[in-house]
Amino acid sequence: MIEVTPGIYRMPLPLPVTNLSHINTYLVRGDDGYLLIDTGWNTKEAFNSLKKQLADGGIDGQEITQIVVTHVHPDHYGMAGELKNLFDATLAFHHLEKDFIETRYVSMDELIQELGQWLHRNGVPPDRLAELKKASLPMLKFVTPTMPDTTLYGGEAITCGDFSFEVMPTPGHTAGHICLYEPKKKILFSGDHILPTITPHVGLHPQSGSNPLGDYLDSLNRLEKLEVELVLPGHEQPFTGFKERVEGIILHHRLRNAEIMGAIGYDSKTAFQLTTEITWLHDVNGVGWHKLGSWDKRMAILETLAHLEAMRAKGELDKFNRDGIRYYRLPQKARRNE
């Protein structure tokens, strides 16, 4: 447990996956109770680490009265149900995240079918579908599905001692992702929306909204206007230099768009074809596309799709269907000009 700024403690918890070493949970000290932000996966290792860090700080857990989850990915939400019951605390998260609990974590069959059709329409060959559509099933055992006591919509104030955090909806990484902003102290809990060196995953899928990358960049532009001196992210280390980081992420997405455009050229291609061709996806984790695990492959396809649909929304690409498969190409006008 590390006090990152007076009254706020960072408790990194281990994750059972290889590409990220830990998730940051944060504890905010109040007058008559603590606020816990994000919870970690529901694994024994994460739970024991949390208990130990709390004990080292002289806290037995019962003092935690509020839990806020930035979004319902397993690393942020997995242990929320367990902790809520154990500490008798209230749990809050965004209403759009709440809407997905049932389909994502309780009865997933429909979502898996839908995702299979989605991947098929976007060019994934039939022999790869079964593997890719079920790629997230192993994650389910790390989540205790729980509904919130308080459903957030944005603009609410979450108070704890000297702190009053404004709930800022930041759709993109997930549709109902929130950040928490403390204007007096200029502190931002950024969840997975802004990380110091990794660019957060933004993928297009049945629960993402029609243009998640557009939403993501809009959310970034809105946040960029805030005065922020300290960012407390969901992964990696707390950091300063907020505006530079936001600019860096925006530039990064521009470069990826440019690379996708280059890969399309004057051809028509599916999201799957493009995913296997562009170098930034070849280099995920420093290994080639064919060596990626099915989870990473699926994320890469959904991420390419998010870029394609963001460019289509701006009129930079067209999409058409042939035999039930979607292809992207330059708009007719741009092709004629050549």
Binding site for Zn ion (CB under 5 A): 73, 75, 192, 234
In a 10 Å sphere around its CB, with 0-12 CB exposed, 13-18 middle and 19+ buried, how is residue 102 labelled? middle
Indicate the residue among 212 and 234 with the shorter CB distance to Zn ion: 234
Find the shortest distance in angstroms from Cβ 69 to Zn ion.
Answer: 11
Indicate the residue among 185 and 193 with the shorter CB distance to Zn ion: 193
Q: Could you give phi then psi for residue 168, rounded to 5 degrees?
A: -115, 110
Find the shortest distance in angstroms from Cβ 153 to Zn ion.
Answer: 20
**What is the residue whose two structure tokens read 């599916």?**
270
Indicate the residue among 135 and 264 with the shorter CB distance to Zn ion: 135
Find the shortest distance in angstroms from Cβ 75 to Zn ion.
Answer: 4
Residue 293 CA, distance from chain mean position: 19
Indicate the residue among 73 and 133 with the shorter CB distance to Zn ion: 73
Indicate the residue among 71 and 133 with the shorter CB distance to Zn ion: 71
Nearest to Zn ion by Cβ — which residue?
A: 73
Long-range contacts of 325-328 (CB under 8 A, 24+ apart): 325/120, 325/121, 325/122, 325/123, 325/270, 326/121, 326/122, 326/123, 326/270, 326/271, 327/268, 327/269, 327/270, 328/264, 328/268, 328/269, 328/270, 328/271, 328/274
Find the shortest distance in angstroms from Cβ 114 to Zn ion.
Answer: 20
Indicate the residue among 73 and 185 with the shorter CB distance to Zn ion: 73
Find the shortest distance in angstroms from Cβ 237 to Zn ion.
Answer: 14
In this structure, are strands 157-160 and 150-152 parallel, antiparallel, or unpaired?
unpaired
The residues, ordered by sequence, that sit 6+ positions from 337 with a Cβ below 8 Å of its Cβ are none
Find the shortest distance in angstroms from Cβ 38 to Zn ion.
Answer: 8
Query: What angle do the packed helices 294-313 and 242-264 form, to 10 degrees?
Result: 90
